[in-house]
């Protein structure tokens, strides 16, 4: 694979993961357990959509095939999406949303930190901007992990269930494939952040009184290459309905 | 101006000769009247969003730095900047969005900070964009000046604000996050 092809694949993984996760967040609009939490989640979702747009804009420029960021978000099918599997999992209860976000935030923060050093200036710039926001996100979800983990018997039980349910998908956060390795060697991509991710998650788990599972193993699904769980199709159907049904709609 | 008030800038087509290279100060001047639609007492210049105003061939080029990646006002601000320049007499100006270096609250001018305060939004501490992101210090109540305040939520009505409450005068207030 040429560096440019690898790069667009890599950028789509970042963009799609931001986009899909933000979409899941927006499902809490009007349903959050507290007003402040609803506002917080909509803020985080908005940041992620903004970051997704920055990556999509770059992909559109690299591909130079007349398609823009909106096309990439709203006109691609499930198999063309490159998001991490964890992002598309249903929002579940608040413990599931929290655990999901925490696993993602720790990874996201580490990846963006490394990308600020990318030899690709455009990537370094987008990452530096996003990193400021990701720092807030990570702080918030870490606090919630502690609160739910140390809270009541029920909050602890629910969080433990959420971790068990989601843990298998964390292999994508700690693993790299050829594309990621190729770009890391070229000084462009973030490479493997697995060791630091595990250490940080272990630290928070210990403080929250949670049991750390064995490292997750690779299995047959592969979001980075378009092999998704059944949940993504439903999410895209809702997200893409309007721009597909009314292709020239503006407001 | 009170929170919630809407701003509306009346457009007026420019009739004279198009402005040229010697008129750069007029470009800056007109931009000081383009307000952030969500904080309509602070101009885009005082927010530090205008990074450069320069000539590129026969067009004026303005570099604009968005505050947050997902700020929904970004497009509106870019359009307002474009229109303000056209109405002042700059023909076909080009707006360029720049992400690097990332915008920081350290770029907000003293005038901008004072305007935020008067509007009821606690301004971010100056020159601490890098540090306070990791450890937000106490915010000063914009109503009574007390520093005995408590954070209610790190996220507020817009991406750039957090929600605080004053323990002295008991008023809730917005705090412009230090970024």
Which pLDDT belongs to residue A153? 98
- pLDDT greater than 70 at residue B86: yes
- pLDDT greater than 90 at residue A125: yes
Question: CB of B105 within 8 A of CB of B88?
Answer: no
C-beta atoms of A46 and B159 within 8 A: yes
C-beta atoms of A36 and B152 within 8 A: yes
Classify strands B172-176 and B161-166 as parallel, antiparallel or unpaired.
antiparallel
Domain stops at, among B65, B97, B129 = B97
Asked if residue B167 and residue B128 are part of one domain, the reply reads yes
Which pLDDT belongs to residue B153? 87
d(CA B159, CA A41): 11
When scoring A14, A15, A35, A39 by the number of chain B Cβ atoms within 10 A, the one with the most, hence best to mutate, is A39
Element (H, E) at B153: strand B149-153
What does the angle CA A207 – CA A213 – CA A217 come to, to the nearest 5 degrees? 140
- B27 within domain boundaries: yes
When scoring B78, B131, B155 by the number of chain A Cβ atoms within 10 A, the one with the most, hence best to mutate, is B155
- Give contacts of A129 with chain B, Cβ < 8 Å: 69, 99-100, 102-103
What is the rounded average pLDDT for all residues in chain A? 96
- pLDDT greater than 70 at residue B36: yes
- B102 within domain boundaries: no
Residue boundaries of the structural domains of chain A: 3-245
Residue A215 per-residue DSSP state: P
H-helix segments, B65-134: 74-88, 110-118
Q: What's the sign of the alpha-carbon dihedral B60, B63, B69, B71?
A: negative
Domain stops at, among B97, B126, B149 = B97
B7-10, long-range: CB < 8 A, 24+ apart: B7/B35, B7/B37, B7/B40, B9/B33, B9/B34, B9/B80, B9/B83, B9/B84
- pLDDT greater than 60 at residue A121: yes
Total of domains in chain B:
2
The CATH number of the domain covering residues in A3-245: 1.20.1260.10
Question: CB of A21 within 8 A of CB of A92?
Answer: no
- B10 within domain boundaries: no
Stretch A31-38: mean pLDDT, rounded?
90
Q: What's the sign of the alpha-carbon dihedral B10, B11, B17, B23?
A: positive
pLDDT band at B131 (very low <50, low <70, confident <90, very high): low
Domain stops at, among B49, B66, B97 = B97
Mark A76-101 as b/e (b = at least 16 C-beta within 10 Å).
bebeebbbbbbbbbebbebbbbbbbb
What is the helix, strand, coil percentage profile of chain A, to 5? 70, 0, 25
Which pLDDT belongs to residue A101? 97
Classify strands B59-64 and B50-56 as parallel, antiparallel or unpaired.
antiparallel
Per the structure block, which two tokens stand in for B114? 């004072």
Residue located via tokens 């604009």: B64
- B75 within domain boundaries: yes
pLDDT band at A88 (very low <50, low <70, confident <90, very high): very high
Q: A214 CB contacts (<8 Å, ≥6 apart)?
A: none
Asked if residue B136 and residue B113 are part of one domain, the reply reads yes
Stretch B36-42: mean pLDDT, rounded?
90
What is the rounded average pLDDT for all residues in chain B? 89
Which pLDDT belongs to residue B4? 67
pLDDT band at B136 (very low <50, low <70, confident <90, very high): low
- Lowest-pLDDT range of A97-101, A235-239, B67-71: B67-71
Residue B95 phi/psi, 5° resolution? -105, 125
- pLDDT greater than 80 at residue A234: yes
Which pLDDT belongs to residue B129? 66
Residue B173, strand partner residues:
B164
pLDDT band at A250 (very low <50, low <70, confident <90, very high): confident
Per the structure block, which two tokens stand in for B88? 């002042």
Share of chain B above pLDDT 90, in %: 64
- pLDDT greater than 80 at residue B134: no
Which pLDDT belongs to residue A116? 97
For A38-65, the pLDDT digits (tens) are 999 999 999 999 999 999 999 999 999 9
Residue A27 per-residue DSSP state: T
Which pLDDT belongs to residue B9? 77
What angle do the packed helices B24-31 and B74-88 form, to 10 degrees? 130
- B12 within domain boundaries: no
The domain in which residue B75 lies consists of 21-97
- B16 within domain boundaries: no
Which chain B residue shows the shortest CA-CA distance from A141? B154
- pLDDT greater than 90 at residue B38: no
Stretch B144-152: mean pLDDT, rounded?
93
- pLDDT greater than 90 at residue B97: yes
Asked if residue B40 and residue B79 are part of one domain, the reply reads yes
- B7 within domain boundaries: no
Asked if residue B133 and residue B84 are part of one domain, the reply reads no
Instruction: Classify B167 as helix, strand or coil.
Output: coil
d(CA A160, CA A148): 10
Which chain A residue shows the shortest CA-CA distance from B151? A36
The complex's ipTM works out to 0.86
Residue located via tokens 């809702």: A238
Residue A227, strand partner residues:
A222
Nearest CB among B70, B157, B163 relative to A50 is that of: B70
Q: What's the sign of the alpha-carbon dihedral A36, A40, A41, A43?
A: positive
Which pLDDT belongs to residue B83? 95
Which pLDDT belongs to residue B156? 87
Asked if residue B142 and residue B91 are part of one domain, the reply reads no
Question: CB of A67 within 8 A of CB of A2?
Answer: no
Residue B140 or A148, more confident: A148
- Neighbour-count burial of B6, counting CB atoms closer than 10 A to its CB (0-12 exposed, 13-18 middle, 19+ buried): exposed
d(CA B167, CA B151): 11
For A142-190, the pLDDT digits (tens) are 999 999 999 999 999 999 999 999 999 999 999 999 999 999 999 999 9
- Lowest-pLDDT range of A25-29, A111-115, A229-233, B49-53: A25-29
- B103 within domain boundaries: no
Which pLDDT belongs to residue B26? 95
Nearest CB among A40, A50, A128 relative to B155 is that of: A40
């Amino acid at each position: 694979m040429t560096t440019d092809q690898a790069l667009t694949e890599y950028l789509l993984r970042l963009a799609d993961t931001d986009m899909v996760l933000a979409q899941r967040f927006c499902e809490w609009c009007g349903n959050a357990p507290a007003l402040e939490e609803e506002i917080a989640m909509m803020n985080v979702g908005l940041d992620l959509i903004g970051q997704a747009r920055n990556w999509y804009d770059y992909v559109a420029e690299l591909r130079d095939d007349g398609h823009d960021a909106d096309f990439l978000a709203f006109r691609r099918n499930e198999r063309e999406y490159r998001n991490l599997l964890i992002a598309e999992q249903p929002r579940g209860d608040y413990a599931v949303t929290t655990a999901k976000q925490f696993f993602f935030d720790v990874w996201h923060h580490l990846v963006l930190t490394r990308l600020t050093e990318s030899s690709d200036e455009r990537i370094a710039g987008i990452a530096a901007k996003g990193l400021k926001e990701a720092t807030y996100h990570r702080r918030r979800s870490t606090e919630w992990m502690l609160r739910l983990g140390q809270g009541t018997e029920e909050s602890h039980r629910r969080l433990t269930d959420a971790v068990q349910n989601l843990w298998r998908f964390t292999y994508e956060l700690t693993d790299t494939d050829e594309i990621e390795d190729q770009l890391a060697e070229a000084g462009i991509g973030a490479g493997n952040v697995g060791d630091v991710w595990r250490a940080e998650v272990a630290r928070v788990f210990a403080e929250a009184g949670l049991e750390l599972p064995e490292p997750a193993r690779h299995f047959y699904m592969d979001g980075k290459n378009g092999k998704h769980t059944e949940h993504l199709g439903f999410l895209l159907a809702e997200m893409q309905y309007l721009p597909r049904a009314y292709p020239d709609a503006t407001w | 101006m009170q929170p919630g008030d809407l701003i509306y800038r009346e457009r007026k087509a420019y009739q004279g000769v198009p402005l040229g290279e010697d008129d750069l100060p007029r470009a800056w001047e007109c931009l000081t009247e383009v307000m952030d639609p969500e904080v309509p007492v602070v101009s885009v210049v005082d927010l530090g969003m205008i990074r450069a105003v320069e000539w590129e061939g026969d067009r004026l080029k303005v570099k604009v730095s968005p505050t947050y990646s997902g700020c929904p006002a970004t497009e509106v601000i870019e359009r307002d900047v474009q229109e303000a320049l056209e109405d002042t007499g700059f023909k076909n100006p080009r707006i360029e969005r720049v992400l690097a270096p990332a915008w920081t609250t350290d770029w907000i001018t003293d005038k901008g900070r004072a305007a935020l305060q008067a509007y009821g939004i606690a301004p971010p501490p100056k020159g601490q964009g890098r540090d306070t992101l990791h450890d937000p210090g106490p915010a000063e109540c914009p109503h009574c000046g007390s520093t005995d305040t408590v954070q209610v939520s790190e996220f507020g009505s817009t991406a750039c604000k957090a929600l605080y409450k004053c323990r002295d005068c008991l008023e809730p207030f917005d705090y412009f996050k230090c970024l």
